Chains A and B, each alone.
Chain A
Amino acid sequence: MGRFILKRLSLLIPTLLGVVTLVFFMIALSPGDPARVMLGERANKQQLEALRADLGLDEPLGVQYGLYLKRVVKFDFGKSIKSGRPVMEEIKNLFPATIELAFFAMIFATVLGIIIGVLSATRKNTWIDYSSMVGALFGVSMPVFWLALVLIMIFSVSFDLLPTGGRMNVRYYFEAITNFYVVDAIILLFREGDPKYLGSALKHLVLPAVALATIPLAIIARVTRSSMLEVLKQDYIKTARSAGIKERRVVYRYALKNALLPVITIIGLQFGLLLSGAILTETIFAWPGIGKWLYHAIEARDYPAVQGGVVIISTTFVLINLVVDILYTIVNPKIRLQ
């Protein structure tokens, strides 16, 4: 087990190098001149060249790449062209918001998705099965922005139960520590004994997390159902039944552990996708996440910001896949030996 993790970790280095390289060349080869963007239409040639020299853009591509690698190793992506602040600092402020939202959305999607999947598999061709699978179809087909707006209309506008956007009640004096607001609120709960921050942070999470969770939820439910149906046909399930194991235990222990294998892969992939930013959800719920920020950075040809954002997101994606692989070996003993 330990050796397996070590081996996977060492594979991480070439993967990440590939990611970093790809990001560099994709941006280097894309049209548009950052100096021109920054200085505007009227800048003269000397001004442009001076800025290019300043940004290191006058060097040959190979040299630029070398310098870039040197900085990336230190997580230094330079300053954002648009805001003038270090890119890493902006990411540190924004990425936790996205991670937090994606995390809660995935928890919701995973728990509910697996339960729905198992229920429809064990009650195949009943109304429970049909309605949850039709529901799953709606889940994947529904435009997220539309669902988000409907949720706001119902829960914020009509019933006034949940806030329409943001991460924390703006009237609270709240200074972020880690920028994971739920974590920060828990720290404050212990430090000051006031649960209002935690309540507010969680309340703000509900609607965006639900909106963001619908697609992964639907996919997880469908994959769980088909995987479960496959497993329930296996001989070892007959063995467990013939040994007098209770049906509940047969389903939730003997079958589910086998059926989870493909589901874990899907969960990892979906989680990675959510992390790369949910631009629509973040926009509608005024969620200060990395998706919206990256979108604007691309629009403004803010190359350092784009580079930094994409590298950090891809690195997270690769790390999540590593976690998925490790989880896989825990669930599936066959892999451990190879």
Chain B
Amino acid sequence: MTEKMNNDEILLSIKDLEVNFYTYRGIVQAVRSVSFDIKKGETLALVGESGCGKSVTAHSINQLIPMPPGKIDNGEIFFEGKDLLKLSEKEIRAYRGDRISMIFQEPMTSLNPVFQIGEQIADVFRTHHGLKKDESWERAVKLLELVKIPSPEKQARSYPHQLSGGMRQRAMIAMALASPNPGLMIADEPTTALDVTIQAQILRLLAELKTEIEMSVLLITHDMGVVAETADRVVVMYAGRKVEEADVNDLFENPRHPYTLGLLNSLPSNEKYRGEKRLEAIKGQVPDLLTIKGWCPFENRCEYATDICRQSFPERTELSPGHSIWCHLEGKYE
């Protein structure tokens, strides 16, 4: 995967990230030894079920995990060669919203209801670049135009409740782009709360913006359809750990981790709609992250599990360049 690539192409590099939540019930092992890189202009999808640690991983990048109870106990996060975890609160804040921005799942609740959307976008410019009021407002209007909001001048003066869900998500994206030099956009389930036609529009918009502005996207989703449509590369997570990483085509054509296989089998398809095939579910439940045992966390749900799976955490197996799995079976099962 990353070793053979030219290093200065890499925008973000996460190494051995470990995040815990110290709760009254005990230590929740939210993220364990997760590493991956994002290249410039690339879209990396972080995929997994709810609670698999994908959001925590993403929020670790700009350190928006609630601390306490959360704590990043180990790891390094290099952004353009600088370890973000070593920065002070003030230094990391300079990255937030400027070089590293975020969009969230709920466009209904993610915009402040008592400020005009133009004002909310303009404030980001003012915060990072000390622009004057009217100049930052002009920039905000331009961004609304960029994300294809009709009559941006007028819409900049509207409040979130006056916009539809899709328009709000566009406004969110505009806000995330409020920088002369956006580097990484973290999109946390950006289309989950939208209906399907709007989903497609937003995804198309993101793809267009990416080519227009040189920007990398970290896409967090549980929706394999969204992954297929937008991602260049995919990291699959399960119970706080990476289980598979591959280029998007590799992953869909040749998924090698039993969990990834299960995820893809649980997607609806035409045959399934026609009743020729059953919609399959992965049996069992996600393990409680409070009581992770010392071996492969997928073992109890895996139909191929053997004794070796209960001995230790699996090491990385590189199946082909850029395609790795973390599985004791090393992809050898049928």
Contacts and interface: CB of A to CB of B under 8 A. Distances in A.
Interface of chain A, main secondary structure: helix
B112 A238 contact: no
B101 A234 contact: no
Interface residues of A, number: 21
A240 to B, nearest CB: 7
B127 A245 contact: yes
A331 interface: yes
Contact of A246 (B98, B104, B127): B127
Contact of B161 (A244, A257, A333): A333
Nearest to B159: A333
Interface stretch (B41-49, B89-97, B293-301): B89-97
A239 B172 CA distance: 9
A258 interface: yes
Interface in A223-246: 234-236, 238-246
A333 B98 CA distance: 28
Contacts of B97: 242-245
A171 interface: no
A334 interface: yes
Contacts of B115: 254, 257
Interface in B70-119: 93-98, 101-102, 104, 106, 109-115
A234 B124 contact: no
Interface string B142-175: 0000000000000000010110000000001001
Contacts of A234: 109
B64 A244 contact: no
Q: How large is the interface on B (under 10, 10 to 19, 20 to 34, 35 or more residues)?
A: 20 to 34
B128 interface: yes
A234 B112 CA distance: 9
B110 A244 contact: no
B246 interface: no
A131 interface: no
A262 to B, nearest CB: 13
A238 B63 CA distance: 11
Contacts of B127: 243-246, 249
A141 interface: no
Contact of B112 (A246, A258, A334, A337): A258
A178 interface: no
A258 B110 contact: no
Contacts of A249: 127
A242 B102 contact: yes
B104 A235 contact: yes
Nearest to A336: B159
A326 to B, nearest CB: 16
A238 B104 contact: yes
A239 B62 CA distance: 12
Interface string A296-338: 0000000000000000000000000000000000011110010
B96 A242 contact: yes
A334 B64 contact: no
B245 interface: no
B123 interface: yes
B34 interface: no
Given A241-B64, A243-B97, A245-B97, A334 B161 contact: yes
Contact of A240 (B112, B114, B159, B162): B112
Contact of B113 (A236, A238, A244): A236
Contacts of A239: 102, 104, 110-112, 172, 175
Nearest to A243: B97
Contacts of A241: 64, 96
A30 B110 CA distance: 57
A254 B115 CA distance: 8
B178 interface: yes
A249 B18 CA distance: 31
Contacts of A245: 97, 123-124, 127
A241 B100 CA distance: 12
A235 B109 contact: yes
Contacts of A243: 96-97, 101-102, 123-124, 127, 175-176, 178
Contacts of A244: 93-98, 124, 127-128
| 9 tightest Cβ-Cβ pairs between the two chains A and B | A243-B97, A244-B97, A244-B96, A242-B102, A235-B109, A236-B112, A333-B159, A235-B110, A243-B124
7 contacts: A235-B110, A242-B64, A242-B101, A243-B102, A244-B98, A249-B127, A333-B114
Given A239-B175, A245-B97, A257-B114, 5 more contacts: A236-B113, A239-B104, A242-B62, A243-B102, A243-B175
Interface of A: 234-236, 238-246, 249, 254, 257-258, 331-334, 337
